[in-house]
Amino acid sequence: MGKFELYKIDLKNLSPGIHKYTYSLENKFFIDIDGTEVQKGKVNVDLSIKSSGTIFEMTFNIEGIVLVPCDRCLDDMEVPVMTQNRLVVKFGDEYAEESDEVVVIPFDEGAINLAWFIYEFIALTIPMKHVHAPGKCNKAMSSKLKKHTARSSADDEDLEDDIAEDEISMEDDSAESIDPRWDALKGLVENDNN
């Protein structure tokens, strides 16, 4: 039996009506799937399939916690996962993904493995930026980051003062040195408005 045999559903032999499946995903699932986003977690999946014989409407209710590395300190952090996703599977001549929610599988094959779809649904719920709450990052890593920061906060204040002074002097310079060609164009606009 393959790693993901549990997630394979034989649609060809599924009777019309509603069918329910439940999956408990542990660290082994995430390690075996070898995705880049999630390596560890504990997630429950409730799957409902409404079968009409040739079209299968699948509703996934996914809830749990995954562990991802913090972007700042690289320690694992918990990210809650809660999502509901829909997938429509229908029979055709060859495999095709018609859209994000519609998949065609060959009638001869008659089965679909949902492991990768479930993984993708989970991965899509994770925010692009994942950082511990303030004060929760690894203290040793935080101190190293502060040590290697380009400027201290005092330098930042001096820099902000310099920028403000430059902006004031630029405004003064621009008021004094207006290109005379603009005066000629301004005259054209004023004549056009009259």
Residue 53 near residue 16 (C-beta atoms within 8 A) = yes
Question: Which pLDDT band holds residue 158 (cuts at 50, 70, 90)?
Answer: very low
Backbone angles phi, psi at 88, to 5 degrees: -110, 125
Q: What is the pLDDT at residue 177?
A: 63
Backbone angles phi, psi at 159, to 5 degrees: -65, -40
| Non-local CB neighbours of 64 within 8 Å, separated by 6+ positions | 25, 41, 42, 43, 44, 80, 81
CA distance 36 to 106: 29
Domain boundaries, the chain: 5-134, 150-193
What is the pLDDT averaged over residues 118-133? 89
Which segments within the chain are labelled E, that is strand?
8-10, 17-25, 40-51, 55-69, 76-92, 96-97, 102-106, 111-113
Residue 110 near residue 90 (C-beta atoms within 8 A) = no
Q: What is the pLDDT at residue 107?
A: 86
Strand-strand pairing, 55-69 and 76-92: antiparallel
Question: Which pLDDT band holds residue 150 (cuts at 50, 70, 90)?
Answer: low
Side chain identity at residue 82, one-letter code: M
Residue 41 near residue 25 (C-beta atoms within 8 A) = yes
Residue 156 near residue 101 (C-beta atoms within 8 A) = no
CA distance 159 to 139: 28
Q: Which residue has the higher pLDDT, 152 or 42?
A: 42
Q: What is the pLDDT at residue 165?
A: 47
Contacts 24+ apart (CB under 8 A), 148-154: none
Residue 89 near residue 100 (C-beta atoms within 8 A) = no
Question: Which pLDDT band holds residue 168 (cuts at 50, 70, 90)?
Answer: very low
Q: What is the pLDDT at residue 53?
A: 80
What is the pLDDT averaged over residues 159-165? 46
Cut 0.75: pTM above it = no
Question: pLDDT exceeding 70 applies to what percent of the chain?
Answer: 79
Using only C-alpha atoms, what is the Rg of the chain?
29
**Listed range (40-44, 79-83, 95-99, 183-187) with the worst mean pLDDT:** 183-187
Question: Which pLDDT band holds residue 82 (cuts at 50, 70, 90)?
Answer: very high
